[in-house]
Amino acid sequence: MISQKFLMGRGREQLSSEERDAIEYSVAEVRILPSRTPIVRADTRVHVSALLIEGFAARYVHSYSGQQQMTGLHLPGDFVDLHSVQLKRLDHDIVTIGAAKVAIYDHRELIKIGEKFPRLADRFWFSTLLDGAIHRQWTFQLGRSGSEKRIAHLFCELYTRLEMVGLTIDGTFALPLTQQDLAEAAGLTAVHVNRVLRDLREGAILAVKSKTAHVLDFTKLAKIAEFDPAYLYRSS
């Protein structure tokens, strides 16, 4: 059973019972995946898409020399590869960060759902557009922001997105990302990330410990990040 709050719209709207059933009963299988398991590999033809139910997943682009860059994070409620319905293959890997649970949908079923339920087709389209908006924000942060601002912005985004699907409690949320993961997301070294997190902790703004993040002062964190959640389209 997929929780209602994770079904399409990333926390934005309720589905009708018919729409919810269409999503529920079209699941081909549910997979429990260990940490660091590829969901999709680059340049591999795919015929299914995955809805993330539990855990995190990351997008990675690799160079021929073996370097890699994290280019996005997916959280519960996200279709991690919905664009593959049209593209048929991806130009990047999608890998679990921590243990994860995903619901698998055959592309043909997703197309049928979209044809039968136009509002769901709109939400599918919205989801891919939202991925693009988030990606543009990441690109801007990597190109124009300093280290503290990058980390602050990343945590503001994670907190806001998780709050939208009910996965924050009193400013805290599960964080399976290691400092190396944070470094790859922010284009920094793990040593640099450690220093930034220490400064934020000493400033009573953010504390990260034992795979848990605690936003102690979101207002201050957002000020450092110059965070504007408009790109997350919370009211759409």
Mean pLDDT value across residues 208-221: 97
Q: How confident is the model at residue 2 (pLDDT cuts 50, 70, 90)?
A: low
Q: Which fold has domain 4-132?
A: Jelly Rolls (2.60.120)
Output the DSSP codes for the chain. ---GGGSSGGGS-PPPHHHHHHHHHT--EEEEE-TT-EEE-TT----EEEEEEEEEEEEEEE-TTS-EEEEEEE-TT-BSSTTHHHHSS-SSEEEEEEEEEEEEEEHHHHHHHHHH-HHHHHHHHHHHHHHHHHHHHHHHHHHH--HHHHHHHHHHHHHHHHHHTT--BTTEEE----HHHHHHHHTS-HHHHHHHHHHHHHTTSEEEETTEEEES-HHHHHHHHT--GGGG-TT-
Question: What pLDDT, on a 0 to 100 scale, did the predictor assign at position 8?
Answer: 47
Amino acid at the residue 225: A
Q: What average pLDDT does the structure give for the chain?
A: 93
- Summarised one tens digit per residue, pLDDT across range 152-181 is 999 999 999 999 888 999 999 999 999 999
Write down the CATH number for the domain with range 145-232.
2.60.120.10
CB proximity list for 66: less than 8 A, separation 6 or greater = none
Q: How far is Cα 169 from Cα 226, in angstroms, rounded to an integer?
A: 23
186 pLDDT above the threshold of 90: yes
- Summarised one tens digit per residue, pLDDT across range 198-212 is 999 999 999 999 999
Percent of the chain surpassing pLDDT 70: 94
Q: Pick from 174, 101, 169, 87: which is nearest to 131 by CA? A: 87
Contact status, residue 101 vs residue 32, Cβ threshold 8 Å: yes
Domain ranges of the chain: 4-132, 145-232
- Summarised one tens digit per residue, pLDDT across range 8-40 is 445 556 788 898 889 989 999 999 999 999 999
